[in-house]
Structure 1
Amino acid sequence: MYYKQIDKKSWLCVGDGPRNPVTGQRKQISRRGKSKKEAETKVLDAIKKSEKNFSFDEKITFDEFSNVWLENYLFRGNKDSTIDHRKYCISTINNYMAKVQINKINTLLYQNFLNQLMTEGSSLSTIKGINNVAQMIFKYAKEVGLIDNNPTESSFIPKPKLEIKDIQEDRVEKLFLNSDELKIFIEEVERYKSPVIRTLLYILTFTGMRPGEAISLYKDDIDFNNATIRINKTTYRMNRIKGEFKLTPPKTLGSIRIIEVDQFILKMIKEMQHFQHIYKYVESEFLFSMNDGFPTTIDYLRTVVRRIGEKTNISKQLHTYMLRHTHVSLLAEAGVDLTYIMNRVGHRNSKTTTEIYLHVTKGMRENAQVKMHKKFSALLNLDKNEINVSKM
């Protein structure tokens, strides 16, 4: 250590930092303090930090560091779709702070970024996803000694002000089709020209599969004798191009399952396969192959559902996952318990599934209460909820 008194009120201390693992050279670290001891303490703290962070330049920008984080993240064994989502989140953050030194990003700067996302119309789920990725990146930056404070720890997810109309509208009700709406939807599905797409939409509605799971089904995943379907894969579409895809394991291990299906679904599948044979569809292992032998894309299926919805008088905005949610509501209406429903749709725990289940069963309980009251009133000869005391 080298010490030098600058003046009566300050000291300079200089020490050798750790060797650069690539060049082998040391970098001198100097700090000032009000006393010799304070200057020395600052140098020792800086050396300790440098030893922990010898591979990063303290001036590294967010985009440079996030690239390093992503390179390491690729070795965690995550699905391609998950990695693509991480890349999307990083690119969004880069739009705001790519060239800002990561150690210059404080809570105020980061909070302003989140607020701007909301102001520009990003959905709550999108903001949460981006914030989740940012948390991982800044946590890593703190672990390697680039930053002392993680700006995401003191920030919050902005939410729009609750309006009266938001209170009056039933959010859960928008997640699925009720019985009357489902009948209207099915009537329009029946008019769709492609039997492959028709059958696929029935599968989504009456099995609760995820769209990616359904279009990934092989022919031998169907067991006609036992009336079951095996679900053990999903489709990752590269570049959103129909022929460019690969099969991957499903979302979670709990998503690997065998489910029972109704005979009318099996009959539809057989009729669809007969159609594929008659019209000489290219031979394919995929159950829902189109005439070129490839299954349709999730994007196309999403467009079909939206267009079908536009042809009806259903006020809700239809999407593919609404059919999955509708299946949950149908099972809840039928009195099926929540655990079975979770297993059937491949969920260990799902807030959305639970909300739909509780919403539907609450209505059933209220309906049961009315029926019980009528029954008890008839048995006890009650009039307007009061016992006729004159007969007592």
Structure 2
Amino acid sequence: MWITEKKNGKGTRYMYRERFQDERTGKNIAVSITLNSNSRHAQKIAAEMLRDKFQKKVGNQKEEKAARIESLTLAAVCDEWLSVSDLTVKELTRRNHRAVIRKLQSQLPPGILFNDFTPAMAEKVVNTLYYLDALSFNYVNGLLVLTKAMLKYAKKAGYTNDISDFESIRLKRRPATPEELKKRSNKFLDQKELKECLSQLSRINYRVSLAMEFISLTGLRGGELLALRREDVDLDKRQLKVTGTLVNTRKNGDELQRGTPKNIYSYRTVDLNTRAVQILEWFYTDNKRQEQWGRRGNSLCSKYKDRGYIFTTTTGMPYNLPFIDRLLRQVDIPGKHISAHIFRHTHITMLAAMGVPLKAIMQRVGHNKPDTTLGIYTHVSESMQKELCEKLDRISV
């Protein structure tokens, strides 16, 4: 406690000040009172008054916080958590997080209070989405993971003391239906389907057909392909380096948004075969042609501007993945949903069929977990086993 003497027209007065620590938060709280005396008796009274004032102030804060938590909505807590989470993730991840949280809120009563959100309600939401609505395991489990992350934040913020019942919720993978098993096998193209797909696509947009063929030869992700610059390619060594990805959330007309790859394993060097080199050389030549024609006033190429990117539109801007996927929807391969990603899976399939070790495939395509690679690898192995059985029947003595 410290004392400050103050003089005014009414005489001399003494301000007593003290700083106390709030045990709950660890923060220091300063309080003060004013008395007409600084005698020992006055100091003793001041010390009691300061402590009472501190206790009252802390009590009021507790009541105010309790009242605020009592009226706090789940949506408000979600928004607060998202604003913190947004600082640590990429733009596309931020959008995905917000979409998943909206899905969670859509399954609950509108305006539900945070205190009314129970573990039983959370478990019912994930079970309904997975077992009744038949959404994918990865999606629903991801929703559960984000829900738990939001609740961990709420605990740190002091909105709740115990989230153990939420953390104990687990989503049990149900047996795959025949439709789901068929869907898994539809994530890649066999050689005949690939040839037909590229043939149809070349009649729709020749440049895009070459770009998709390049993915099937290298296993690049769509964003990695579009982010490729000439400086990332060494044609003499027949190699390219993956050092970035194009953010596909950009709008038409926006400046390029070249971000970092998906994860640390995505930084890699990819060897190129002869056909992949030919495709790169074609784009180098055609992009140069468009730039020169534009300089000469050719109206078709007048908007072309060389930005160093390889797989570009006639303006020199990298293609937009949603635009590519819209073109691919015009391709008709029975039983297959054609998107840019199917060509990446097709590349993995071809490597697996050639007997390339799983680890080598993962390194080439930038996988850090074997789940996706192994799923395709196993399917191809089963197909090869079936082919072997058929050939065994032809053996005769």
Q: What TM-score results when the alignment is normalised by the length of structure 1?
A: 0.74
2: CA distance, partners of 1:152 / 1:160 = 21
Aligned to 1:273: 284
Alignment CA distance shift 1:365-1:315 (3 Å): closer
Residue 98 of structure 2 aligns with an amino acid whose one-letter code is K
Report 1:333-348 matches (<5 A).
333-348=353-368
- How many percent identity over aligned positions? 21
Kindly state the Cα deviation for residue 355 of structure 1 after the two structures are TM-superposed: 1.1
2: CA distance, partners of 1:22 / 1:74 = 32
Residue 27 of structure 1 aligns with an amino acid whose one-letter code is G
SS of corresponding position for 2:193: helix
Aligned to 2:162: 148
Aligned to 1:353: 373
The one of 169, 173, 179 equivalent to 2:191 is: 179
Q: Could you give the per-residue CA deviations for residues 120-163 of structure 1, whole angstroms, max 9, x where no partner exists? A: 67544332222221111112223444142355335454888865
Kindly state the Cα deviation for residue 262 of structure 1 after the two structures are TM-superposed: 1.1
1: CA distance, partners of 2:134 / 2:340 = 23
Aligned to 1:217: 228
Q: Could you give the per-residue CA deviations for residues 141-187 of structure 1, whole angstroms, max 9, x where no partner exists? A: 23444142355335454888865x448x5343212111221221122
Alignment CA distance shift 1:55-1:69 (3 Å): farther
CA contact (8 A) 2:270 2:364 kept: yes
Kindly state the Cα deviation for residue 60 of structure 1 after the two structures are TM-superposed: 2.0
Residue 305 of structure 1 aligns with an amino acid whose one-letter code is L
SS of corresponding position for 2:126: helix
Alignment CA distance shift 1:228-1:176 (3 Å): same
SS of corresponding position for 1:347: coil
Residue 261 of structure 2 aligns with an amino acid whose one-letter code is P
CA contact (8 A) 1:219 1:286 kept: yes
1: CA distance, partners of 2:270 / 2:244 = 14
SS of corresponding position for 1:354: helix
The one of 252, 255, 261 equivalent to 1:250 is: 261
Q: Does residue 1:324 correspond to 2:344, yes or no?
A: yes
SS of corresponding position for 1:307: coil
Unmatched segments (≥5 aa) in structure 1: 1-15, 30-46, 379-392
Residue 111 of structure 2 aligns with an amino acid whose one-letter code is K
Residue 280 of structure 2 aligns with an amino acid whose one-letter code is I
Alignment CA distance shift 1:69-1:347 (3 Å): same
CA contact (8 A) 2:186 2:335 kept: no
CA contact (8 A) 2:248 2:322 kept: no
CA contact (8 A) 2:250 2:257 kept: no
CA contact (8 A) 2:119 2:166 kept: yes
Aligned to 1:302: 325
Residue 315 of structure 1 aligns with an amino acid whose one-letter code is G
How many residues of Structure 1 are paired with residues of Structure 2 in the alignment? 334
Alignment CA distance shift 1:176-1:361 (3 Å): same
Q: Could you give the per-residue CA deviations for residues 311-359 of structure 1, whole angstroms, max 9, x where no partner exists? A: x4x2212122111111001011112111111001000213121011111
Highest Rg: 1 or 2? 2
CA contact (8 A) 1:243 1:294 kept: no
Q: What TM-score results when the alignment is normalised by the length of structure 2?
A: 0.73
Q: Could you give the per-residue CA deviations for residues 184-208 of structure 1, whole angstroms, max 9, x where no partner exists? A: 112223323342x122111111111
The one of 98, 112, 118 equivalent to 1:106 is: 118
Kindly state the Cα deviation for residue 298 of structure 1 after the two structures are TM-superposed: 0.9
Aligned to 1:86: 97
2: CA distance, partners of 1:101 / 1:211 = 41
CA contact (8 A) 1:238 1:244 kept: no
